[in-house]
Amino acid sequence: MTAEISIFGLYVPVLLLLAIVAFLCTMLTGRFLMRTGFYRFLWHPALFELALFFIFLGSFSLVLTNSGY
């Protein structure tokens, strides 16, 4: 994925935008899991959130590259 998007004349890599979206999804999912009490069953919540971030980032990247962008 070598595409770039121009935002007001500033070229931004698509991967950076996907990482921002993945971070926001990770934070929303983390808040939901915290409210439901899921974190009580985890050994290392920070490691779980890091893995969740990479799962979101990989899935968004996979969807974007398969969509013909």
Asked if residue 68 has pLDDT above 60, the reply is no
Q: Which of 3, 30, 31 is nearest to 17 (CA)?
A: 3
As beta bridge partners, residue 12 has 5
Q: Where are the beta strands (DSSP E) in the chain?
A: 4-7, 10-13
Q: What is the pTM of this model?
A: 0.85
Q: Would you call 12 helix, strand, or coil by DSSP?
A: strand
pLDDT in tens, 23-51: 999 999 999 999 999 999 999 999 999 99
Q: Which of 67, 69, 50 is nearest to 5 (CA)?
A: 69
pLDDT of residue 15: 92
Asked if residue 1 has pLDDT above 70, the reply is no
pLDDT in tens, 51-66: 999 999 999 999 988 8
Q: Evaluate whether 28 touches 56 at the Cβ level (below 8 Å).
A: no
